[in-house]
Amino acid sequence: MKNESRALADHIAGLIFEKKGYDVKLLELRNITTLSDYFVVCTADSDTQVKAIADHVEVALKEEGVRVWHKEGFKALSWVLLDFVDVVVHVFRKDTREFYNLEKLWGDAPVYELKDPEIK
């Protein structure tokens, strides 16, 4: 059985795919830091899409009773962070994601590439 934070991370990935986010990766941080259990990282092609993905995740989870604890990046829209405590969502524009390279920064973390179930 999946733990609750992993189930939330997988659910968030599904919400990201609904807004056509891509290159979705899950970084498992549970055994590395107390910061969070998982990072969900994704890419969007424009500021508008970054905002659409972040808004969709926040609103959908709020409707399910899961509230964001902290959020930032809504002014510049090149990197939006949504902190749900056990799961932190990073929505990047492609160039910003390449620059910050969280996967390399957290290189000790197991990384899982998640696939859009709509794409065969």
- Other Cβ atoms less than 10 A from the Cβ of 84: the count is 24
pTM: 0.93
pLDDT at 120: 60
CA of residue 22 relative to chain centroid, distance: 11
Which tens digit of pLDDT belongs to each residue from 53-88? Answer: 999 999 999 999 999 999 999 999 999 999 999 999
Q: Is the dihedral of CA 112, 117, 119, 120 positive or negative?
A: positive
Which tens digit of pLDDT belongs to each residue from 2-28? Answer: 589 999 999 999 999 999 999 999 999
Q: Is residue 61 part of a domain?
A: yes
* CATH code of the domain covering residue 39: 3.30.460.10
pLDDT at 1: 36
Count of positions (residues) in the chain: 120
Q: Which two tokens stand for residue 110?
A: 């197991």
Q: Is residue 93 part of a domain?
A: yes
Q: Is residue 115 part of a domain?
A: no
- Other Cβ atoms less than 10 A from the Cβ of 39: the count is 22
Q: Which domain holds residue 100?
A: 4-110
Phi, psi of 45 (to 5 degrees): -90, -15
Counting the structural domains of the chain, the total is 1
